Amino acid sequence: MAVKILGTGSFLPEKRVTNDDLAQVMDTSDEWISSRTGIRARHISVEETTSSMAVKAAKIALEDAKIAPEELDHIFVATLSADHATPSTACQVQKGIGAENAVCMDLNAACSGFIFGLQTALAYAKAGMGKKMMIIGVETLSKLMDWKDRSTCVLFGDGAGCAIVEADETRKVMIDAGSKGNMGDVLTCEERHLNNLLVKDDSPMQQVAMNGQAVFKFAVRIIPKSIHKVLEAAEVSEEEIKYFVLHQANRRIIEAAAKRLKEPIEKFPINLDQCANTSSATVPILLDEMNKKGMLEPGDKIVLCGFGGGLTWGSVYLEW
Ligand code: UT7
């Protein structure tokens, strides 16, 4: 049993912030950001929340999939920036779209979140536990940034992407995933700390902090390794792959991966110039863009790959 994608959707907050806009409020420049990362702009929430963006992306995906919300049996939302600890973002999506028959849960695997969500849906399909499932990657990272740390805050943005899958026997899907908890401290963001009737700690929360070069080296090593693994398992060569849809963190990471895979950069779609890094949302936002532009035909072989905080990574080979 495998899955096929029935439809996709995405949503970006209206407010677009360019590198030049950032340079007006902090010591940075369009030259530094774009030459180091490829990023030129990002979307930042003013009124949107994690759940409101997820609901908007979900409604668009339902329309694209041409199914009714009641047909969904599961909603998996990958996020590290939920509005609430409970109810989960997935339950808020259920309420927002009227998917009354769905079982809903959130998962957090940082930038690999959407890939892990898709792999979860695949496992449910294989176990006979799910037929039509929705997977969302959504982040409001702007609320987790240290806006005084120019080395991180310029890299990230807000947004949501969604895919609806259906269990399907005719398609082939292969996965790879891994985690390296002992490297977790290279990319961190604190949740609420202990503060109760026995412990008083009103210190400010630690926002996103990153050793960029360590993440960069990890990404460049792990992406080709993970992609090779799924292609070997699928018995498909790199040349047969139409697109490698990679997590959008840095153009130089994508270029390095293309070089190591010995594949032309044209096979690696990029939208980080306009969206920056939206963590779990990058892959489904990009997939939706490709879908809407008509870049994908039935039967096309593609690979999705995510990597990031945890550290975590994952790849999925699938047929459109
Ligand atoms: O989803 C995964 C998330 N992780 C990532 O995307 C991280 C991957 N890593 C990267 O993308 C790169 O490592 C960065 C873009 C984060 C940094 O690029 P780099 O070439 O490794 O730069 P660097 O950290 O070595 O910094 C070089 C210089 C430093 O100045 P000095 O010490 O050489 O004088 C920084 O202070 O650039 C300075 N700098 C900046 N200058 C202008 C750091 N941030 C900025 C900035 N504007 N925004």
Q: Quick check: is 305 catalytic?
A: no
**Does ligand 1 lie within 6 Å of residue 30's CB atom?**
no
The alpha helices in 107-211, defined as continuous H runs, are 113-126, 150-153
How does pLDDT run across 195-240, given as a tens digit for each residue? 999 999 989 899 999 999 999 999 999 999 999 999 999 999 999 9
**Does ligand 1 lie within 6 Å of residue 256's CB atom?**
no
Catalytic residue among 162, 247, 250, 275: 247
Q: How many CA atoms lie within 13 A of 87 on its CB side?
A: 11
Are 26 and 146 in contact, with CB atoms under 8 Å apart? no
Of the candidates 53, 56, 31, 58, the one whose C-alpha atom is nearest the C-alpha of residue 43 is 53
Q: How many angstroms separate the alpha carbon of residue 206 from the centre of ligand 1?
A: 19
**Does ligand 1 lie within 6 Å of residue 154's CB atom?**
yes
Q: Quick check: is 277 catalytic?
A: yes
- Domains of the chain plus CATH, in order, are 2-168 (3.40.47.10), 174-269+292-319 (3.40.47.10)
How does pLDDT run across 273-287, given as a tens digit for each residue? 999 999 999 999 999
Q: How far is CA 125 from the centre of its chain?
A: 21
Q: How far is CA 145 from the centre of its chain?
A: 17
Catalytic residue among 91, 104, 111, 189: 111
**Does ligand 1 lie within 6 Å of residue 196's CB atom?**
no
Is the pLDDT reported for residue 180 higher than 90?
yes
Catalytic residue among 19, 108, 277, 291: 277
How does pLDDT run across 154-166, given as a tens digit for each residue? 999 999 999 999 9
How does pLDDT run across 60-98, given as a tens digit for each residue? 999 999 999 999 999 999 999 999 999 999 999 999 999
Task: State the virtual CA torsion across 130, 8, 78, 68 in degrees, nearest 10.
Answer: -50
pLDDT grade, residue 305 (50/70/90)? very high
Q: Rounded mean pLDDT of the chain?
A: 97
Q: How many angstroms separate the alpha carbon of residue 58 from the centre of ligand 1?
A: 34
**Does ligand 1 lie within 6 Å of residue 172's CB atom?**
no
For the residues 227-255, what does the mean pLDDT come to?
Answer: 97
From the CA of 151, give the closest atom in ligand 1. Answer: 44
Q: How many angstroms separate the alpha carbon of residue 213 from the centre of ligand 1?
A: 8
Is the pLDDT reported for residue 292 higher than 90?
yes
Of the candidates 76, 185, 190, the one whose C-alpha atom is nearest the C-alpha of residue 122 is 76
Residue nearest atom 25 of ligand 1, based on CA coordinates: 213
Between CA 303 and CA 80 the distance in angstroms is: 23
pTM over 0.75: yes
**Does ligand 1 lie within 6 Å of residue 310's CB atom?**
no
pLDDT grade, residue 1 (50/70/90)? confident
Residue 65 confidence (pLDDT): 98
- Poorest-pLDDT segment among 1-5, 134-138, 262-266: 1-5
